[in-house]
Structure 1
Amino acid sequence: MKKILVIEDDELIRANLQDLLELEGFDVICADTGAQGLAQAQSICPDLIISDIMMPGLNGYDLLTSLRQDSQLAFIPFIFLSAKAEKTNIRHGMKLGADDYLTKPFESAELLDAISTRLAKQAAIAQLQHTIQELQQLNESKEDTLSVLSHDLRSPLTNMQMVISLLKTADSVEKQQSYMKILQDECVRELDLINDILDLQRLESDCAFTASEVFSVYDCLTKIINIWETRIQDNHQALTINAIPEISLVFGDRHSLERILTELLSNACKYTPPQGSINIDIDYHQTDNNSKSCFNLIFKISNTADIVATEVPNLFKKFYRASNARSSKQLGTGLGLTILEKLVEKLKGTLTVDSQAGWISFTIHLPLSRVNPLPLRVSA
C-alpha cells in the first residue's frame, strides 16, 4: 500500500483529501503545518507528498527546499495543492523541484490522475535505478571473474614454464621423470580449467547441448563409482556404497548425469581428510501415480568435512574454494560446484546441501523416464 503524506492547514480540506485517498486504497498520513509535515516525512519516508503553500511557520516553498536538500527524501514525488494560481507562483514551485502543481478548487479526478502519473514515473525511475545497479554489479562481477581467471590460467602456465627450464638441466632420469610428471599434471590442470570455463559459459548462455538417449542407470552409476573408488582408496578414505537400484533402461541425458556424479565425488575427495568417510546413497521414487515410467533418481553424497554452515551458500560461487581442502593441489578449478548447480537446473532437478556435526551432504533429485518394456539388465 502506497503511503501519501498530506500537509494542509485547512482542517476540512485535509479531512476531505484523506477520505478521498483512503477510498482509493492509499495509506494516508496527515500534518497541519509545514514543520510537522517535514518531521513526518523524515520519520515515514512516504511514497508521495501533497502540500499546501501558505501555512504558518514553514511554508510549502521552504518545506520543498528542505526536502530536496535531504538525500533520503530528495526524490519523493511532490505535488503542490494551493489557491495561489498566478503563473509566477506555479513557475516558482516547479523551479524549486515540485513534480506537479494543482490549484484550488480542484477536481478529484485531476488530483488522482496527477498522483497516478507521479507514482508511475517514480516506479519507472526505481526500476531503472535497479537495472543500473544490477548492471554495475554484473560489471564488477565480470571484472572480479576476469581477475581470478587470469590468475588461475597463469598459475599452471608459470609452473610449466619453470619446469621446462628445470627439465633442460636435469642430470638424471629420475629428475626428468619427476619434472615430466609435474608438467603433465599442470597441463591437465590447465585443460580442466579451460574446459570448465567453456562448459559454464554454455550452461549460462543456455546453449548447453542436451543429448538424451536410452541408457542403463545402473551401469552408468557403477562405472563412475568404480573409477572414483580407486582414487578414494588411494587417498586413504573410507567409502560406503548402498545397493544401487536396478532401474533398467531410462531415457535422459547420460553425459550430464555422469558429470554431476563426478563433480560430487571429486568434491568429496578434495575435502575429506585421510581416514575420513565418504558415503554414497542412491534411491528412486515414483513421481506420477498414474505413470510407472516417471520417477526421481535420488543420490546423496556425504563426507566428513569441517565446513561451517555459513560457508555453504558460497560453495556454488564461481572460483570459490573452501579453506579446508586437503592441499593446494586438491583445490581444482573452483568451478565444479557452479557447473553442478547449473546442470541440475538444466535437468529440472533439485539440489540441497546440509552441513552439520562434521559432515556435509549433497542431495540431488533428477527426473527420469523409464523405457518400456523393461529388460532385467542392459549394457551401457
Structure 2
Amino acid sequence: MKAPIYKILLLEEDTALIRKIQQLLTLHNYDLITSTTPEEGMYMSRQFKPDLIVCGVKLRGGSGYHFLMELRNDPTLQHLPLILISGKEGKEDMRMGMNLGADDFLTKPFKSKELLMSIKSRITRFTVFNLQQREKKHTTIVSMPVVAPEIHSKLSKTELRIMQMIAEGLSTKEIAQALNISIKTVENHRHNISKKLNLTGHNSLIKYAIRNLQQQYRILS
C-alpha cells in the first residue's frame, strides 16, 4: 500500500460516524486524525497542519460553527479547506456555515461517494498552496472567484452574478436589494438557472452554487 499523501482532520461527536469515515478514508489512502471537541480540534490543527478538515456542526463542548470562526481568525490556519457536516438539511444552517467560511456543506446521511468527491475537489484546489507551505516558500494568497466553463456557456451575465451571490450565502431578498430588482425577478432568474442546469429538488441550486462557484486561491511567490 502506498503511503498516505494527504492528512485530514475529522471533528465529530458521533463515534459511529467517526468509525465509518475512518474506514472509508483509510481505504482511500488518506491519513486521518480525529477529535471530538473544538479546543482539541484547534490544537490538532496547529500541531499537525492537516490538508483538509471535516467538521460536524455538533461537537462536544461546543459547535462546529465556533471552531470554524476560530479557524478562520487564525492567520496560520485560515487557508485550510473545511467541509461542514450537519444532521439536518436547512437553508439557514447551510448559509451560516458558508458565511463563516466553510468550503462545502454535507447533510447526514450522505453517501460515501459524496464525501470522497468533496474531499478530492477541495484538496485539488489547495494542493499548490500546501506544497509551497511544505517547501517553506514565501507565498501570497489571492482569492479569486472561479466559474466553470460549462456554467459560463449556459448562463447569462446576470444569471452568473446571481449564482455567485447565492454561493456567497445571500438570500433572494438580499440579492434583489443588491441588484436593485424585484424579489419576483430574482425568483424567475433562480427558476431559469435551475432549469438550464437541470437542477431539481429543495436547495439543489444553493448546493450547486456552493460547490461550483467557491473561491479558488492563486498562489503568488
The answer to whether the superposition gives a TM-score over 0.5 is yes
Q: So what's the TM-score if we normalise by structure 1?
A: 0.33
d(CA) in 1 for partners of 2:83, 2:70: 15
Report the equivalent of 1:90: 94
Query: SS of the residue aligned with 1:123?
Result: helix
Report the equivalent of 1:16: 20
2:108 matches 1:104: yes
- 1:14-45 Cα offsets, whole Å, 9 max, x none, are 01111100000011001122222122112111
Q: How does 1:196-235 map to 2 (within 5 A)?
A: none
**Would the alpha carbon gap of residues 65 and 110 (structure 1) be closer, same or farther in structure 2, given more than 3 Å must change?**
same
Q: Highest CA radius of gyration, 1 or 2?
A: 1
Report the equivalent of 2:57: 53
- 1:80-139 Cα offsets, whole Å, 9 max, x none, are 011131101101100000010000000101100000000000014557999x9699xxxx
- 1:292-341 Cα offsets, whole Å, 9 max, x none, are xxxxxxxxxxxxxxxxxxxxxxxxxxxxxxxxxxxxxxxxxxxxxxxxxx
d(CA) in 2 for partners of 1:128, 1:57: 35
Unpaired runs of 5+ in structure 1? 136-380
d(CA) in 2 for partners of 1:88, 1:96: 12
2:30 matches 1:26: yes
d(CA) in 1 for partners of 2:37, 2:130: 29
**Would the alpha carbon gap of residues 12 and 127 (structure 1) be closer, same or farther in structure 2, given more than 3 Å must change?**
closer
Match of 1:117 among 95, 118, 121: 121
Query: SS of the residue aligned with 1:74?
Result: coil
Query: SS of the residue aligned with 1:92?
Result: helix
2:61 matches 1:68: no
Percent identity for Structure 1 against Structure 2: 37
Q: Which amino acid aligns with 2:49?
A: C
- 1:269-293 Cα offsets, whole Å, 9 max, x none, are xxxxxxxxxxxxxxxxxxxxxxxxx
2:87 matches 1:80: no
CA contact (8 A) 2:57 2:64 kept: yes
Query: SS of the residue aligned with 1:110?
Result: helix
Number of residue equivalences:
134
Let me know the Cα RMSD of the aligned residues. Answer: 2.3
Report the equivalent of 1:39: 43
Which ranges of 4 or more aligned residues in structure 1 deviate by more than 3 Å?
124-130, 132-135
Query: SS of the residue aligned with 1:79?
Result: strand
- 1:150-203 Cα offsets, whole Å, 9 max, x none, are xxxxxxxxxxxxxxxxxxxxxxxxxxxxxxxxxxxxxxxxxxxxxxxxxxxxxx
d(CA) in 2 for partners of 1:133, 1:50: 27
d(CA) in 1 for partners of 2:80, 2:94: 19
- 1:230-274 Cα offsets, whole Å, 9 max, x none, are xxxxxxxxxxxxxxxxxxxxxxxxxxxxxxxxxxxxxxxxxxxxx
Q: So what's the TM-score if we normalise by structure 2?
A: 0.56
d(CA) in 1 for partners of 2:64, 2:78: 15
